[in-house]
């Protein structure tokens, strides 16, 4: 499909989405993040999200298929699959806006409680962006970012689980890459993701059921690529 990359289709991922990587995680772990600039709501047609009856968190069907294969493999390796359950996946821009406002209010209140003068709005937002994505910029808008149940343990304890160690070694083979500050947050972003999505869309438009092969993640990225460019610290 020919189109000007400078004018992305509404409601789609940009083909030129940023891949950010850092090779500073354990055992060469690096990030490879979905560019979550969303040009419309929802980020994907509703039919591409798993129905709520199947998974309440409504992940993208492609990410869900890869996650299922991954959990099956983890269980075969002897892990209790419960901490790998999907705690959260798809999040609307409206919900992210609520979260954003709530956390800004919290920041203001905390400063006031500490007896500090109010910060200029721009500075307050700059600090908040380190930890919270702005509405429209969260990878969760795509349904491709999964927060696993490891979330309930918090970051420090989450990193000490056998589950995290297993994910570090194996998640990439299923198309999942970490967001290093949050051991529970993994994003489905294998090489060829955009083509995989386009293929799925074409099949759905023709009324076809996507074949299992399409739902399988492509080959994992060799550990040395892509080159680390920048680390975005927003969820």
Q: Which residues bind Zn ion (CB under 5 A)?
A: 147, 185, 235
Least separation, in Å, of the C-beta of 118 and Zn ion?
29
Are 150 and 183 in contact by the 8 Å Cβ rule? The answer is yes
Burial of residue 109 (number of CB atoms within 10 Å: 0-12, 13-18, 19+): exposed
Are 88 and 33 in contact by the 8 Å Cβ rule? The answer is no
Least separation, in Å, of the C-beta of 177 and Zn ion?
13
Are 133 and 113 in contact by the 8 Å Cβ rule? The answer is no
Residue 185 or 232 with smaller CB distance to Zn ion: 185
Residue 57 or 200 with smaller CB distance to Zn ion: 57
Residue 61 or 139 with smaller CB distance to Zn ion: 139
CA distance 231 to 158: 21
Residue closest to Zn ion when measured from CB atoms? 185
Least separation, in Å, of the C-beta of 43 and Zn ion?
15
Least separation, in Å, of the C-beta of 135 and Zn ion?
15
Q: Most distant CA pair in the chain: distance in Å?
A: 61
Residue 147 or 189 with smaller CB distance to Zn ion: 147
């Amino acid at each position: 499909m020919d189109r000007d990359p400078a004018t992305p289709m509404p409601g789609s991922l940009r083909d030129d989405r940023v891949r950010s990587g850092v090779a500073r995680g354990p055992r060469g772990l690096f990030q490879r993040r979905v560019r979550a600039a969303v040009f419309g709501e929802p980020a994907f047609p509703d039919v591409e999200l798993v129905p709520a009856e199947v998974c309440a968190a409504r992940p993208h069907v492609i990410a869900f298929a890869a996650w299922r294969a991954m959990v099956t493999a983890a269980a075969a390796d002897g892990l209790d699959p419960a901490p790998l359950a999907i705690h959260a996946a798809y999040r609307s821009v409206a919900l992210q806006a609520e979260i954003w406002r709530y956390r800004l209010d919290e920041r203001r209140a905390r400063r006031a409680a500490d007896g500090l003068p109010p910060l200029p709005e721009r500075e307050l937002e700059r600090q908040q962006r380190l930890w919270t994505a702005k509405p429209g910029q969260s990878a969760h808008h795509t349904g491709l970012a999964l927060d696993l149940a490891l979330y309930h343990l918090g970051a420090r304890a989450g990193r000490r689980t056998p589950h995290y160690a297993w994910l570090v070694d194996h998640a990439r083979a299923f198309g999942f890459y970490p967001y290093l500050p949050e051991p529970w947050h993994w994003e489905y972003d294998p090489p060829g993701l955009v083509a995989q999505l386009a293929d799925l869309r074409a099949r759905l438009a023709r009324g076809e059921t996507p074949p299992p092969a399409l739902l399988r993640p492509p080959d994992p990225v060799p550990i040395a690529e892509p080159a680390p460019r920048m680390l975005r610290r927003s969820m």
